[in-house]
Structure 1
Amino acid sequence: MIPDSLKFKKLVIGCGNLIFADDGFGYEVISKLEKMELPKDVGLIDAGTGAPYYLMSIMDKDCPVEKIIIVDVIDFKLEPGTLQKMGIDKLKKIDKYNFDAHDMPLSNYLIKAEESGVEVIIIGCQAKRITMPDIEVGLTEEVKNSLDDAVNMVLEEIK
């Protein structure tokens, strides 16, 4: 049975952990989107560090998802706050997508989703500081300043 949170054609999935500084970027973008009126076929998920669990369910043949937009921090050694939209071809360059804290690589699920016909887009923001394992709630100024542009990138993808 498909969970209600996955009964949409387009899903925006915010990844990361808001208690580790800039790793809360995905959460903050989802929070802004939740305050907007979005098309009825768009679902929002604050997945935290549990994105692989949602993606496993998307593989179900009865799941209606046609497009996934992942919102997360990246580390491409860019200027902090720099946004980048990419497809799964760049996943291998993002360490956290190949090995995560639960040994469930997100990249495998995203590749399988795309192979099954689901369009996959990643909107990444270059982090300045991720404090794990030390707790620090709140984004750095550079990443915070990129939130509105990230929201606009998501809105372009869900038209």
Structure 2
Amino acid sequence: MPEYLEKETLILGCGNILLADDGFGFAVVQRLNEMKQTNPELNSEKIAIIDAGTGASHFILSLIDEETKIKKVIIADIIDYGLNPGELTKLYPEDLPNIPKYHIDAHDMPLAGMLNDIHERFGVEIVVIGCQYKYLSAPDVCLELSDEVTAAVDKAAEMVLEELEK
């Protein structure tokens, strides 16, 4: 069993750093790792902070079952929810089916059903910290987030910390 399945909380940064704002999840994970110096709760043995990239989130989540110790999954990712670029929102399982298009990886594979299933079957709390993207560069490569999404990274990291306190 992978070590992260022995944790109580998974923090997953999803997306593709090569596609502009789709690198938001990675940026949040990177910021959380930097914050470990000043936020001891991030160093807890109960927490795994994972750059899930473009497809790993699907594989990680598919391994959750009644044997895992996971109680909460926090996902940082871009969304297309019609908000202003860089605007953040927290989404819960009941919100996910209402999202017209939920970018979880480079193949646009929606995970709403899987997240709802994990929540309902195993009682895992699910929170998505979604950031409205401004620009996705596909098929071109762009290694930079838009200014609006860059400005949202620190606030998203704070939102993760707030979720850890609950």
- TM-score, normalised to structure 1, is 0.91
- Greater CA drift, 138-147 or 37-46: 37-46
1:105 aligns with 2:110: yes
Counterparts of residues 38-49 of structure 1 (less than 5 Å): 38=42, 39-49=44-54
SS of the residue 1:131 aligns to? coil
SS of residue paired to 2:94: helix
Specify which of 62, 76, 90 is matched with residue 85 of structure 1. 90
CA contact 1:52–1:105 (8 Å) conserved in 2: no
Q: Which amino acid aligns with 2:27?
A: E
> Which letter maps to 1:62?
E
Q: Deviations over 1:86-134 (max 9, x none)?
A: 10122121413599617x5311210111012000001000100011221
Secondary structure at the counterpart of residue 102 of structure 2 = helix
Match in the other structure for 1:139? 145
**In structure 1, C-alpha distance between the alignment counterparts of 2:114 and 2:124, rounded to whole Å:** 11
- Unmatched segments (≥5 aa) in structure 2: none
| Alignment partner, residue 150 of structure 1 | 156
Q: CA deviation at 1:62?
A: 1.5
Cα distance, 1:135–1:82 mapped onto 2, change above 3 Å = same
User: Which stretches of structure 1, 4 residues or longer, exceed 6 Å deviation after superposition?
Assistant: none
Residue 114 of structure 1 corresponds to which residue in structure 2? 119
Q: What is the DSSP-based 3-state SS (H/G/I as helix, E as strand, rest coil) of the residue aligned with 1:26?
A: helix
Distance in structure 1 (CA, Å) of the matches to 2:14 and 2:6: 19
Q: Distance in 1 between matches of 2:12 and 2:25?
A: 8
The offset of 1:81, in angstroms, is: 0.5
Q: What percent of counterpart residues are identical? A: 40
TM-score by length of 2: 0.87
Distance verdict in 2 for CA 1:32–1:40, change over 3 Å: same
Residue type at the aligned position of 1:19: L
Unpaired runs of 5+ residues, structure 1, are none
Equivalent-residue separation in structure 2 for 1:29 and 1:111 (angstroms): 23
Question: What do residues 51-100 of structure 1 show as CA deviations (whole Å, max 9, x unaligned)?
Answer: 11000111x32110000001100111111110001101221214135996
CA RMSD in angstroms, aligned pairs only: 1.8
